[in-house]
Amino acid sequence: VISHEHIQSISLDELFPRLSFSDIFASSTDFRAALRAAMREDIFDTTPAYAKMSEKARKMLLLPDSSLQGSWKCKDGRWESKGSADLETDIHRMKKLTQVLSKYLGDGAPTGDDFCDTIGLLCGSNPSTHWIDIVGVQDRRIPHSWHQDTGRSPNSDTKTVLLGFPPEDDHDSVGVFSHCVKLERERIALDDHPMSEPIVYPNMEIDEKYIIRPNFRKGRELICYRDVDVLHSSPDVAWRASVMRFM
């Protein structure tokens, strides 16, 4: 029986203290948009799978209403820097994100690499390092689609971390984060289930009283959970700019 907390909330201030990070993130649409855009660009431009894409394809994939995926890992990660012969800058991956964080948070701001790797550390001791920025359906109610992303938690401490991007300043509501159902016991994937495929529970009807809709507000910018502890789904009504998932 699962006895620990199924879903934890975390603030940006906890991860990056003495910067008023949560305040600025909550109150500045410009900061959130710039942070998100810079992070997407940096990850796109250092992901080998995207290297041969045309500029037209790059612009389309980087449109803010499209989802994008890659790896969050910077230090010792499998990313490639291109277009620079400066070895000093090439050791840093998230150059645009570093500039945005410095502009809005001032002296003491983390580098873009530190920002990504610090959030990534919440994923535990054996993460996949997969990252995706999810937009999803925004303009209508959709039925829940309950699933697990992997049905695994290597070393029993590997977690999924969600960083929410709200649709407006001073947001305090549901609809940013995934909805969850707490399991009484761990639900672990079969050994032969592919790691890259979710475990889907089609047509599963869950009584409303069991559905957890995590709230986004200042000081609760992130949530994390083990994939074996919960079933989860996109919100039935999404109200967000996006949500970033670190695994």
Torsion of CA 93, 90, 121, 177, to 10 degrees: 0
What is the rounded CA–CA span in Å between residue 137 and residue 177? 13
**What letter does residue 141 receive in the DSSP assignment?**
-
Whether residue 78 is contained in a domain is answered as yes
Q: Is residue 129 part of a domain?
A: yes
pLDDT (mean) for 23-40: 99
Q: What is the Rg, in whole angstroms, of the alpha carbon atoms belonging to the chain? A: 18
In a domain, 46, yes or no: yes
Nearest alpha-carbon partner for 180 in 95, 243, 97, 109:
243
Q: Single out the residue of 195, 166, 183 nearest to residue 225, CA to CA.
A: 183
Taking a C-beta distance cutoff of 8 angstroms, is the pair 186, 2 a contact?
yes
2: in domain? no
* Percent with pLDDT over 90 in the chain: 91
Q: Is residue 192 scored above 70 in pLDDT?
A: yes
Long-range interactions of 26-29: CB distance < 8 A, separation 24+: 26/166, 26/169, 26/170, 26/171, 26/217, 26/218, 26/221, 27/169, 27/170, 28/104, 28/169, 29/168, 29/169
Identify whether 18 is part of a domain: yes
Q: What is the pLDDT of residues 63-90, one digit of tens each?
A: 999 999 999 999 999 898 865 545 445 6
CA 204 – CA 218 distance, rounded (Å): 33
Provide mean pLDDT across the span 29-45: 98
Place of tokens 């994937």: 189
Taking only the tens place, the pLDDT of each residue in 86-131 is: 544 568 999 999 999 999 999 999 999 999 999 999 999 999 999 9
Tokens of 5: 């907390």
Looking at residue 83, what is its pLDDT? 59
75: Cα separation from own chain's centroid: 18
* C-alpha to C-alpha distance for 211 and 213, rounded to whole angstroms: 6
| Per-residue model confidence (pLDDT) at position 84 | 53
Task: Give this prediction's pTM.
Answer: 0.95
Residue 94 lies in a domain: yes
Answer whether residue 204 is part of any domain: yes
Q: Is residue 124 in a domain?
A: yes
Domain total in the chain: 1
Q: In 3-state terms, what secondary structure has residue 160?
A: strand
Domain of 124?
Answer: 7-246
